[in-house]
Amino acid sequence: MNSRIKKFFSYYKPYTGLFLADMACAFLVAAIMLVLPLCARYVTQNVLEQSTPDTLSQIYGMGAVMLALVAVHTLCNLFVDYRGHMMGAMMESDMRNDLFDHYQKLSFSFYDDQRTGQLMSRITNDLLSLSELYHHGPEDLAIGIVTLVGVFIISLTINVELTALVFLFVPIMTIYAFYFNKKMNRAIRTSRERIGDINAQVEDTLSGIRVVKSFTNEAIEKRKFAYENSRFVESRRDDYKSSSYFSGGMIAFTQLITVAVIIFGGTSIINASLDLADLLTYLLYVGILTEPVQRLVNFARLYQEGITGFGRFMDILEIQPDIQDSAGAIELGSVQGNVQFKDVTFKYKKDQDYVLKNICLDIKAGEYVALVGSSGVGKTTLCSLIPRFYEVGDGEILLDDHNIKNIRLRSLRRNIGVVHQDVYLFAGTIADNIRYGKLDASLEEVIESAKKANAHDFIMQLSDGYDTDIGQRGVKLSGGQKQRLSIARVFLKDPAIIIFDEATSALDNESEKAVQDSLEKLTNNRTTLVIAHRLSTVINAQRIVVLTGNGIDEQGTHGELMALGGTYANLYNMQLRL
C-alpha cells in the first residue's frame, strides 16, 4: 500500500513548478473571494454614514481596488483552469504511457485470460478521473478549507450571533452532501464498469463482424449489446438521481440560510444590535459559503473516484510479467541454431493437465524437422516454448547450449522467426508491414524479400504497389497474399531458426504452391521446424517427429517411418485415402 501512495505522488514530480504555481493561484482565488465582501462593506458603510466630505472619492478608490482584485481573480482562475487542467492531462498521459508499456511486457498467459475491451477501458476511461483528481484535488482542498475558515473568522468579527446561526447549518449541509455524494460515487463506479463491458462487447462483435454477418446473427449481437447498454443506463439513473438531490439540496440550503439571515438580521437591526452594512456583508458571505462546502464534497468525490481508478491502474501495473530477463541474462552473438529439449514438461494452468510431458528432442543447426500429430496434442504449444512465449515447467530448452531462460528475451526472439496460420497485418502500407521484420530496412531490401516470398508480383499489381494501404488486419488481401507478406517479413528478419505452424493449411492448392515455394527458399541454411497438417508437404523433411498424447512416439525419415508401420504410417495412409 505504501508503495502505491509513493507511486501516486511520483506522477507530480515532473510538474512540481507548475503545481506550485497552480496552488498559489488557488490560494489567491480563495483570498480574493474572501476580501471582496469586505470591500463592499466598506463602500456601504461610507454611503450610509457619509461622514467625510470626500465619500465619493473613497468609493471610487475602493472601486478601483475591487476592479484590480477582480482582474487578479480572473487571471488566477484562468491559470488554474487552463494550466492546471493541462497539468492533469499531462500526468494522465504519463500514466497512460506507463500502462501501455506494461501491457507490452505482459506475456501470452496474461492475454489468454483478458478481454481486450476491458483492457482498453482501463487505459482510456479509468485514467480520466485520475487527471481530475490530480489537478482539482489539491486545489479543491486548499480553496475549500481556506474559504470556509476565512468566512468563519471574518464573520465572527462582524457578528457572533449571526455567525453561530449560519454555521449551525454547515454541519447539516455537510452531512447531507456527503450522504448523496457517496451514493453518486457508487453509481459512478458501477457505470465505469458497465462502460468497460460495453467496450468489450463492441470489440467482440466488431472483431467477429464477418462471422456475425455470414451467420446472419445480427439480431443476437444486437440483443447482447442492448443488454449491456441498458445496464449502463441503469447505473446512470442512480447517478443522476443522487446528483440532482445533491445539487438541489445545496441550492435549498443556501436559500434557507439566506432567509434565516434576513429574518434574524432584520430583527437585529430593529434592536440596533446590527447595522445595514453588516447585514449586506453577511448576505454576501452566505452566497459564497456553499462554494467551499461543495468544493470539499467534490474533493471527496474526486478522491473516491480517482482512488478507484488508481487502484484498477495499479492492479495491472503490479502484475509482474511472468516472463522476463533473468538477472544475468546473456546477449547472443551469432546463433548457430541448435535446439535441444531436455525432459520438458509443460501445462498452461496450475490446475490443468499436462500438455507436454518429458519431451526430449535434439534439433541440429540447419536441420529441417517436421512435427506431425493429431490436432490438440500440443504441436503449437511445443513450438511456442522455444521463443519463450510460455515458460517451461520442468526440464529445460537449450539454444546453442544456453538455457533459453538465461538468454535475453530480445536476443532470443530476434533469432527466431514464426509463421502462423493466421497472419496479423497492421494498419498501414504493404511496405510498412514487411518492414516490421526489420525496422530500418531500405526499400530495396523490402522488395528483395518480397521477391523471395513470391509476393512481389501481386504487390506490383496493386494500385499503389508497395504504398498500398491495407485495411486493418489486411482484409483487402487474400489469405495466400497475406501469408506471403508475413513470409517476406521473416525473410527481412533473417533469423537462424524458423518455425512454421500450419502456415499453409488454410490455403487453396495454388496459393499453397506459391507459399510452399517461398518457404523452401527461406529454410536454406536455417534450423527449421515445420508443423504440417498435410503430410504430403513434409515427405522431404530430414526428420519427421511424431507427437502423440504420450509424448514423442517415433521419429525418422518418411521412408523409415513408413517401413516401421506405426503411428505415422497409419496417419499417412489415412490421408492418402481421403
Contact footprint for Mg ion (CB under 5 A): 380
Task: Tell me: does residue 375 bind ligand ADP (CB under 6 A).
Answer: yes
**381 touches, from ligand ADP, Mg ion, none (C-beta below 5 to 8 Å by class):** ligand ADP
Least separation in angstroms between residue 420's CB and ligand ADP is: 11
Cα separation, 475 vs 488, in Å, equals 18
Selected binder of ligand ADP within 250, 355, 515, 544 (CB under 6 A): 355
DSSP string for residues in 350-407: TTS--SEEEEEEEE-TT-EEEEE--TTSSHHHHHHHTTTSS--SSSEEEETTEEGGGB
- Residue 376 CB, shortest distance to ligand ADP, in Å, is 4
**Closest approach of Cβ 567 to Mg ion, in Å?**
18
CB of 375 to ligand ADP, least distance (A): 4
The footprint of ligand ADP on residues 236-265 (CB under 6 A) is none
284: Cα within 13 Å, side-chain hemisphere:
19
For 263, the 3-state DSSP assignment is helix
Which of 242, 504 has the CB closer to Mg ion? 504
Residue 355 touches which of ligand ADP, Mg ion, none (CB < 5 to 8 A by kind)? ligand ADP
Report helix, strand or coil for 505: coil
379: contact with ligand ADP by CB under 6 A: yes
* 41 near ligand ADP (CB under 6 A): no
Q: How far is the CB of 367 from ligand ADP (least distance, A)?
A: 21
By CB under 6 A, tell whether 381 contacts ligand ADP: yes
Count other C-beta atoms under 10 Å from residue 570's C-beta: 11
According to the binding rule CB under 6 A, does residue 112 interact with ligand ADP? yes
Contact 392, 415 (CB under 8 A): no
According to CB under 6 A, which one of 131, 380, 449, 537 is a site residue for ligand ADP?
380
Cα 236 from chain centroid (whole Å) = 23
d(CA 371, CA 535): 10
Count of residues interacting with ligand ADP (CB under 6 A): 10
Cβ-based nearer residue to ligand ADP, 111 or 426? 111
The cell for 542 is 530430414
Residues 490 and 437 sit within 8 Å (Cβ to Cβ): yes
- Cβ 353 to Mg ion shortest distance, Å: 17
Q: Which long-range contacts (CB under 8 A, 24 or more apart) does 573-577 make?
A: 575/534, 575/535, 575/536
Q: How far is the CB of 355 from ligand ADP (least distance, A)?
A: 4
Which of 111, 426 has the CB closer to Mg ion? 111
Task: In whole angstroms, give the CA distance from residue 479 to residue 507.
Answer: 7
Q: Are strands 416-419 and 497-501 parallel, antiparallel or unpaired?
A: parallel
Q: At closest approach, how far in Å is the CB of 385 from ligand ADP?
A: 10
Our finding on whether 357 is near ligand ADP (CB under 6 A) is: no
Quick check: 348 binds ligand ADP (CB under 6 A)?
Answer: yes
Q: Which residues contact 162 (CB under 8 A, 6 or more apart)?
A: 155, 261, 264, 265, 268, 274, 282
How far apart, in Å, are the Cα atoms of 389 and each of 111, 162, 176, 187, 253? 11, 73, 55, 40, 62
Q: Residue 378: which of Mg ion, ligand ADP, none does it interact with, CB under 5 to 8 A by kind? A: ligand ADP
Which residues bind to ligand ADP, rule: CB under 6 A?
112, 348, 355, 375-381
